[in-house]
Structure 1
């Protein structure tokens, strides 16, 4: 039986880091006013905005999910990452100027100005639920996977409770400023640790060509279903169970638009930018940081196939769902969620291991603190302030802190439920696939269709989510689940269908009811005139400050990687 453990120096490094990051986060906190607490005073420069976006996205849940899917010969999971660069370019061009010009605190607040108060409340409620069960709960669950190796005898709920308290320790006192400043340090640590894992994994395998040869040998021996070309391919046939190419074209961009352009906990970082240029540069910088993820976070999962495919991990007491309940996972192939934790514990030397674990826990903390702060912002600004409009700025901050306490308890309670899903990445994407399409449709129609009104915006969301609930109930009643294997319908095909239905509902209901106020709509609609006026402003900037030039360069770099691994 294999064994894994930590040396004294690793434990010291982890403890010192965790204590230090909490202290640093509290000292960097701002809570003089609600704008300080929820948007860091709207004074963040572009490097901070970009790194913060990257760190909040690449939490331990995403990192573990990416490596896990790659271990299951699904390098195509990287398509979610490079697509972010494309989405962020479009976000900076169309959406961001309206967000910053309106000086809103939340995305639901923006929808209220475009549609009405009902739409704001509905979207806010949906986003809060999503933040708790998707982002915060999955971050806690991923942190549990990391620490489970160190503390195999402790139940998951106890580890999750500890992580929840640690993540909330600086988020509650300091707000978004604490979150953003700590994320800069955590992102640096995370990328550094990922580079080291990749280096040591390649060192063990013998280099890139040895990896190719090893994969082909396993395939020739019948131990691997795919050869090296198939394993490392980003563009898969429509028969592929993980990511059919049609799902990549139609589904993945919509998930990306929700996550990067409509999701409060991501957009909140850009709203903290000191001006539009810094917001755009920060968004593009985040897109650039996503490109190396293939080499430092996805490829290590492929290397783990060669290094630890049949490793015995029964000593971890890690439970996986079975038809009769739960059973202890015997080897890594049976529970791929443990791929990245096994990689770091088995490959990294003493000292470096402690630093990388600290970085992983930091990533978990970044993601959780980000979602906690954004969800508390939604509760405070979309509900509390509406119900009690006379509250002072300090009272709003206090309400946000109380909301954070409640949310972290709910997320910690839900996190153990994720163990019943096939994998962490499957959990993340399937839940996101049901939440995203109606919201993206409401924003797209609202921004580009002048005739869209409050009735269309509100009822398209209501009817779309009723349809989602109906589909889920049908799948569970007939198939006992919503997986592709059971229903025969890939969730990436469900996404564009829901999106199209929501658009048709919005447009149809809007046309059948009273037109919106022309003056109100004129300030919320994107037109070609806006583009022409912006062109004149950008003409005086050097190329390296012109976001359009930078966007083209980012798209070229993205295309090179995609074509290389097509």
Structure 2
């Protein structure tokens, strides 16, 4: 493994992929008007919607994050994945019908219709910042981890810049249609590569029994903290550092709610569906695709614990910021868990297969970056530019979106190297998300299910929530009040959401009730469920999303119980 450069065949495979995906993305692009460019003409069928949702979520950052957490004994990181299936069922039942019937372009636009323009602007700005520092930057950083091993002599910022430009090459000219169609191909390649890596992992370790016995042997020798049955358990004690059961019950669903129900770069794919049924079927299909992630993306990290606990990786030349300043060389995966996935692929995969898998990782990176670029551009263009220039439209609006995309990719590339300052990529993703999601999730939940909620309550709750998040971050960074700031972030999330929801309800009582038209069109009531029941009666069972939802929940429950 001392020579980790790619063979000529691997390099050819990767080059063909990059050129081919850019060509295909440009060919599939739509830019005749704003609806084409930002929502793909609202013409996507359910398989495309579902696969694009999966691909946009499972980027290279997720691949790196899942395997590194599993290497550290935290297979419970899979709880974020199966919970997505539950959240998407909730989304399909309650929120999706309102989004599609309102014909909105963005989630902040929907918030404006329910409340007012102040909520729209604040949410839009928060989401744009989140898209840059969470989704785009982490995807670029993860792609850099893979390529840095092959090209250690090239500076990180150069690799990140090239990755950003490759993702933007087809997103800028083609818009959402380019992003969605390329995501379908990229998802297939990603899953194929992950399945191949899993097969080689189990061949090397001696199958499932070899993995579990290896984990138990490491525990018996004192090299790991947990035996196999605890490593592979999804439900952890209340004092677990990464996934306490209380956090699984209260925090994980709320983070998932924001990500799958409120996040523009995810919901935008469902907004492109040709009708409500295709949107619902696509959302449930995405939930189904999330379930095998345990076996093809998480478990390989546990295999790496058995195979490479003692592996010296200093020859890779990978460095991270040292606590005392400067850079320190990674000598083991325990020092640099983010290198787990790169070590697995370069150690186990033969020539040709390696090129395919690296291409799959780059595909995952391109998927998530492309998704986020287009959604952030949509936010800026439709939420901000159209308000400042209401007379702009057609081709000019598309051109503005393309310029915004270019600016965003430059900002994300500039921020990506800062992620090295966190102990792991997954910690970075979830920690930042914990500060952003609760105020927004509270606004949407209260807005849909509480008719009396109004603009004053919603805007005040958003300001309060983000004020608390900023203050908490400052206090934590400064090392003050450790008894409060050391509370697990998965428990901070529900506490902040309750505070924001309560503020919304209480402050709403001090202002007039919202207009009857707003209540009628943007709040849920039982009569909608009964009317929908009559509509679904005309469909065969395999087209009834309620039947499909029950099936998805049963499969999900089976996996969770098996790995309890």
TM-score tier after normalising by the smaller chain length? over 0.9
1:18-33 aligned at under 5 Å gives the runs: 18-33=18-33
Match of 1:529 in 2: 527
**1:179 maps to which residue?**
179
Tell me the distance in 1 between the aligned counterparts of 2:317 and 2:268: 39
2:355 corresponds to which residue?
354
For 2:494, the equivalent position in structure 1 comes to 496
Once the two structures are TM-superposed, the CA of residue 82 in structure 1 deviates from its matched residue by 0.2
Within 5 Å, which residues of 2 pair with 1:33-432?
Answer: 33-325=33-325, 326-432=327-433
Contact 2:149/2:318, CA 8 A, preserved across alignment: no
Question: Is it true that 1:435 corresponds to 2:436 in the alignment?
Answer: yes
Q: CA deviation at 1:3?
A: 3.7
- Greater mean deviation of Cα atoms: 505-514 or 89-98: 505-514
> For each residue in 1:210-261, what CA deviation from the matched residue of structure 2 results, as whole angstroms up to 9, or x when unmatched?
1111111111111111000110000000011010000000000000000000
Distance, in Å, in 2 between the alignment partners of 1:533 and 1:449 is 20
2:557 matched residue in structure 1:
559
2: distance between equivalents of 1:295 and 1:319? 30
- State the 1:102 CA deviation: 0.1
Residues of 2 paired with 1:58 and 1:503: CA distance? 30
| Deviations 1:2-55, CA, capped at 9 Å, x for gaps | 442211100011011101100110000000010000000000000000000000
Shift of 1:319: 1.9
Report the Cα offset of residue 308 of structure 1: 1.4
Q: Contact 1:375 / 1:404 at 8 angstroms: preserved in 2?
A: yes
Could you say what secondary structure the match of 2:509 adopts? helix
Contact 1:80 1:256 in 2 (8 A): yes
CA contact (8 A) 1:152 1:315 kept: no
Matched-pair contact (CA < 8 Å) for 1:247–1:492: yes
CA contact (8 A) 1:143 1:361 kept: yes
Cα distance in 1 between the residues matched to 2:108 and 2:466: 16
Alignment of 1:432-511 (within 5 A): 432-478=433-479, 487-511=485-509
Looking at structure 1, the residues matched to 78 and 3 of structure 2 have their Cα atoms a distance apart, in angstroms, of 31
How far apart, CA to CA, are the structure 2 residues paired with 1:191 and 1:307?
A: 23
CA contact (8 A) 2:475 2:485 kept: no
Q: What SS class does the counterpart of residue 334 from structure 2 fall into?
A: helix
Name structure 1 gaps, 5 residues minimum.
none
Aligned-pair distance for 1:487?
4.0
- Contact kept in structure 2, 1:2 and 1:311, CA below 8 Å: no
CA offsets per residue over residues 81-112 of structure 1, 9 Å max, x none? 00000000000000000000000000000000
- C-alpha contact 2:2 2:316 (8 A) present in aligned 1: no
Give distance in 1, aligned partners of 2:138 and 2:158.
Answer: 15
Larger displacement relative to structure 2 (115-124 or 342-351): 342-351
> Secondary structure of the residue that 1:243 maps to in structure 2?
coil
Whole-angstrom CA distance in 1 between matches of 2:423 and 2:208: 30
Quote the Cα distance in structure 2 between the aligned partners of 1:317 and 1:158.
Answer: 17
d(CA) in 1 for partners of 2:400, 2:553: 42
Determine the C-alpha separation between the residues in 1 that align with 2:332 and 2:253. 35
d(CA) in 1 for partners of 2:359, 2:80: 26
Q: 1:132 is paired with a residue of what secondary structure? A: helix
SS at match of 2:479: helix
Contact 2:29-2:176 at 8 Å conserved across structures? yes
Residue 349 of structure 1 deviates from its aligned partner by: 0.9
Bigger Cα displacement from structure 2, 510-519 vs 164-173 = 510-519
Q: Deviations over 1:411-448 (max 9, x none)?
A: 00000000001110000000001100000000000000
1:479 Cα deviation (Å)?
5.4
Deviation at 1:557, TM superposition (A): 0.1
TM-score after normalising by structure 1:
0.98
Q: Does the 8 Å CA contact 1:69/1:336 hold for their aligned counterparts?
A: yes
The alignment yields a C-alpha RMSD, in angstroms, of 1.2
2:150 aligns to what SS in structure 1? coil
- Shift in Å at residue 540 of structure 1? 1.0
Contact 1:451 1:516 in 2 (8 A): yes
The within-5 A match list for 1:512-527 is 512-527=510-525
- Residues 13 and 358, structure 1, Cα contact 8 Å, conserved in 2: yes
SS in 2 for 1:459: helix
Is residue 2:540 matched to residue 1:539? no
| 8 Å contact kept, 2:146–2:342 | yes
